[in-house]
Amino acid sequence: MKRKEFNTYKKDFVEATKKILDIEHSENLDEAAFPAYSNPNPLMNFLFWERIYRVMNYIEPKGALERVLDFGCGSGVMLPFLAKETEEVIGVDIDLEPLKKIEQYINFPKNVSFQETYEEVPEKSLELIIALDVLEHVDNLDKELEKFASLLASDGELIVSGPTENFLYKIGRFLAGPSYSGHYHVRNIYDIRRATPKNMTPRNLATLYPVVPFFLIYTAVAE
């Protein structure tokens, strides 16, 4: 995806989240990253959206996929993009209220469905699962990752991003304000990667940024 196309995509979500936050501000909107989408600080805004851009650019060359799952999809920022690359997209989140609010401003394609759980998704039926900035919140990580592995077809792929939670990251989060408290984070991205099931092979996709690592993106392929 070229930067110009991505910036148009980004603009639609930024405007939508701003309109919603102008009306209300709640904890579930914070957890769905609404303040991050529309952060007025140019550096923080760039850092947040750069993760999305890197993941999109990694997925796009794969060509047409049959079925993908966005775990912890939040406001659905990845869903319109995934819908163009995939026959069926499943957006899963325990709180679908932020999605319902975004739907007032963003039209999600018909091949996208929203669910509160993925329990009815058949095993070995997914080519791709993405879990962007969500697994740091999950209590039973090992169980979640094992379930992901069971849902992926052979050579199916998991893409994960998350915070390093290092000293500089924590300073930046503090300066960003209470909407970015992170008090509900129970681990960092290194903990998540170490928990990768043995039948999956992880590798780094990107570090933002190598000198001052705030976020890591990695992939893991199912055997």
pLDDT digits (tens, 9 = 90+) for 55-103: 999 999 998 999 999 999 999 999 999 999 999 999 999 999 999 999 9
Pair type for strands 152-163 and 215-222: antiparallel
Split at pLDDT 50, 70, 90, the class of 182 is very low
Pair type for strands 215-222 and 200-208: antiparallel
pLDDT higher for 147 or 168? Answer: 147
d(C-alpha 203, C-alpha 218), whole Å: 6
Q: Partners of 218 in the beta sheet?
A: 160, 204
d(C-alpha 106, C-alpha 76), whole Å: 9
Model-level pTM? 0.92
The tokens for 91 are 């957006």
State the greatest distance between any 2 C-alpha atoms of the chain, in Å, as a whole number: 47
CB 138 within 8 A of CB 164: no
43: exposed, middle or buried (Cβ count in 10 Å: 0-12, 13-18, 19+): exposed
For domain 3-222, the CATH superfamily is Vaccinia Virus protein VP39 (3.40.50.150)
Helix (H/G/I), strand (E/B), else coil: 127: strand
Return all residues near 156 (Cβ < 8 A) that are at least 6 apart. Answer: 124, 126, 127, 128, 129, 221, 222
User: What DSSP character marks residue 136?
Assistant: T
pLDDT the model gives residue 211: 84
pLDDT the model gives residue 23: 94
Pair type for strands 65-71 and 112-115: unpaired
Phi, then psi, of 63 in degrees rounded to 5:
85, -170
Q: How many helices (H) and strands (E) does the chain have?
A: 9, 7
- Give yes or no for residue 173 having a pLDDT over 60: no
User: What DSSP character marks residue 213?
Assistant: -
Domain range list for the chain? 3-222
Average pLDDT over residues 190-197: 96
pLDDT per position as a tens digit, 97-127: 999 999 999 999 999 999 999 999 999 999 9
